[in-house]
Amino acid sequence: MSVNARDVGKKDTSFEREPARRVFAAELRECRYQFKEGDDEKSPTFVLLPTGERSNRIFLIGTLTEKQRQGDQNLFYRGRVVDPTGTFFVMAGSYQPESMQQIAKIETPAFVAVVGKPNIYQKDPASSPLVSVRIESINVVDRETRDLWVLDTAARTLDRVDALAKGETKDVTTAKEQYPTLDPAVFKKMAYEALAQIKI
Amino acid sequence: MDYSEIAERISRKFSQKNQTVDSKKIEGKLRRLVDEFGVLPSEAERSVTNELAKEFNIPALGTSSGSGPGSATEQKKIADAMPGDWVTLEGKVVSLSTPTSPTIAQSGIVADESGAIRFIVWAKSNAPAMTEGSWYRIESAVVDDYKGIPGIKVHSGTTIKELGTTDPLIPVPVQITDLHTGVGSVRAKVVQEWEPTHDRMLQSGLLGDETGTIKFVIWKEAGKERLEVGSVYSVFYALVDEYNGRLSLNLTTAKIMQEEGDIPTISGGEAAIRGAIVHIAPGSGIIKRCPVEGCNRALSRQNYCPIHEIQPNFVYDLRIKGWLDDGEKTHNLLLQREVVETLTGMTLDQAKEIAENNPLGMDEVFLRMRDILLGRYVLCRGREIENRLLVNSCERLTFDSGEHATLLNRAGGAS
């Protein structure tokens, strides 16, 4: 087959896009530690997952159950996306006009695939931190795609739990320091329960 | 004394530079220097040459007679010539290429039974022109390295003698994975052909053998022919270049012979990636391409080609550019029309119909394709080149209950 070399392009060759991690809502909810590598203003920010992997971006699929338009000058949308283990809080602000238009179009409830950046917010020191996902893209998908995501995310979560037990990477070490009370068995159980909810 | 012979030699030198000089006038100058001022004929030749060179604003031509300082340079086999060496070697000029700069008189490849090396004859060296297919003794030339590729430089201190031998020289092809920068010969099959990216490009694509694949290019020159996809060729003395850590073959000046039969090729860099499509980039969907032969660039919305300007008779095409993410790594994707049609279920004709009749035009095609693909799990097969996967086939994943059961066991196993 003839490939158009024109499209092969010259740019992007050195650029590595941050991968989108697969994580269940119940694990993302537990994130408390956020860090940056490098002093550059543009260096990516990572949220450290309790299972010991950094995530600058996540990919999630669930049911968009609610969406709400908020703000006057700074218009933004909030939404709740539910997976078998809990709820993701997603948002799209005026800096993401594409994402805002996409979420605006979607009628709840619907299965949605979301690519976005996780962030840890704390309203004030007294309240407990909240992890939300700033939407890069959101799109309606079917149930089979949702089920594929549950398989994928369960497999990735189990991989991380295994890696955590081996305890070799830098992120694993940091996770053990930052999340000393979390038992990895919790996440294994969570993966099992998510899988068990898929009807065969 | 007869000065016509020297005068003739000088005028030949200048006619090579496209300058005509009057032989009678040169003879007069020579006679004056030698007869009146007692200058030696060789010195007179030098001084007249320099005087004329100055007049025509040509950098010093030197004379071909006085050979260099005769410093002890080693006679070497080509394969042993290392950058930094001053060498003397005997070899056959196996190819000549068009010089890339007016400071270069000749460039090409010289070979002996040990190997082959690129050479450059500086215009300033005033060396006699060599002909392709003849053997020469090249005395005290410099081996240097330009962008990591060794080459022989013929300068004014180098002497070149034609040897008059006619040994046939048959290079031994190597396997693609054994190629290194410089000059190489392979026996390989054309496994892919790409559309040219430049007006001067005759053909580009991929050559493959049992060990790997390599990109090739042939530039447009008189007498050059395109290679056939699927055919096997012996390629002698191709230029092996490196760009961004990847080797490629320039076949423009190589000897190419079509071979009978077939060879098995491995598709090096062949990748199969399962993941989710996490982004569809602008420039996906239906696009317009420049109709000028060999161009095929994507046009802007105003039908503007960066090279051929406004092209109202554009050609429609489909493509998808995006990112496929497996959770560990994100792969840049490029899907060609056939793959896009199969994956989205939208044919080029249907897309054209939408683009021309829908109020959103081409954007509508982009949006529909994005809705179909974004967030979906797919398996893409293709070749990964410089971080970009050129997709040959792409299919939607389906739910596998076997995998489900395996994962349930894994998650439910002893913790």
CATH number of the domain that residue B316 is part of: 2.40.50.140
Residues B122 and B211 in one domain: no
Which residues pair with residue B159 across a beta bridge? B139
Asked if B314 has any chain A CB less than 8 Å from its own CB, the reply is: no
Option in A6, A7, A139 nearest B375 (CB): A139
Please give the residue range of the domain that contains residue B115.
74-162
The total number of structural domains in chain B stands at 4
Residue from the list B327, B377, B388 with its beta carbon closest to the beta carbon of A20: B327
Nearest CA to B286 out of B317, B321, B322 is that of B317
Residues B193 and B293 in one domain: no
Please give the structure tokens belonging to residue B62. Answer: 């030197």
First to last CA, chain B: 108
In this structure, are B391 and B274 located in the same domain? yes
Per-residue pLDDT tens digits of chain B, which is 415 residues long: 778 888 888 888 888 777 888 888 888 888 888 777 766 777 778 778 878 888 887 765 554 433 333 334 678 888 888 887 788 889 999 988 888 888 899 999 999 888 899 999 988 888 888 998 899 999 888 888 887 788 999 888 788 888 887 778 888 888 888 888 889 999 999 988 887 778 888 999 889 888 888 899 999 888 888 899 888 999 999 999 887 677 899 998 888 988 888 887 765 567 889 999 999 999 999 999 999 887 888 999 889 998 888 999 999 999 999 999 999 999 999 999 999 999 999 999 999 999 999 999 999 999 999 999 999 999 999 888 767 898 989 999 999 999 999 999 999 864 4
Shared domain for B24 and B81, answered yes or no, is no
A-chain CB neighbours of B326 within 8 Å are 19
Burial of B225 (0-12, 13-18, 19+ CB in 10 A): exposed
Looking at the complex, report in whole angstroms how far the Cα of residue A117 sits from the nearest Cα belonging to chain B: 12
Residue A157 has a pLDDT of 96
pLDDT score, position A3: 53
Instruction: Please indicate, yes or no, whether residues B220 and B280 belong to a single structural domain of this protein.
Output: no
In a domain, B314, yes or no: yes
The answer to whether the CB atoms of B334 and A141 lie below 8 A apart is no
- Residue A188 and residue B413: Cα distance in Å, rounded? 9
Task: Tell me the fold of A18-196.
Answer: OB fold (Dihydrolipoamide Acetyltransferase, E2P) (2.40.50)
Closest CA to B344 of B301, B283, B284: B284
Does any domain span residue B278? yes
Does some domain include residue B401?
Answer: no
Is residue B226 in some structural domain?
A: yes
How remote is the C-alpha of B176 from its chain's centroid? 16
Domain identity same for B275 and B378: yes
Which of B162, B188, B217 terminates a domain? The answer is B162
- B289 shares its domain with B375: yes
Q: How far is B249 from chain A (nearest CA, A)?
A: 16
Distance CA B236, CA B173 (A): 7
Do B252 and B278 belong together in one domain? no
How far B357 CA lies from chain A's nearest CA (Å)? Answer: 23
Give the start-to-end residue ranges of the domains of chain A: 18-196
The count of C-alpha atoms lying within 13 angstroms of the C-alpha of B7, restricted to the half-sphere facing its C-beta, is 18
Helix (H) or strand (E) holding A97: helix A97-105
Question: For position B393, what pLDDT does the model report?
Answer: 92
Domain boundary among B211, B235, B259: B259
Q: Does A176 touch chain B if contact means CB atoms closer than 8 Å?
A: no
CA distance A196 to A190: 10
Please say whether the beta carbons of A115 and A134 come within 8 A: no
Same domain, B310 and B368: yes
Same domain assignment for residues B213 and B126: no
Contact map slice: A 35-94 vs B, CB within 8 A: 59, 61
Neighbours of B360 (CB within 10 A): 12
- Give the count of beta carbons closer than 10 Å to the beta carbon of residue A3: 22
| Same domain, residue pair B353 and B274 | yes
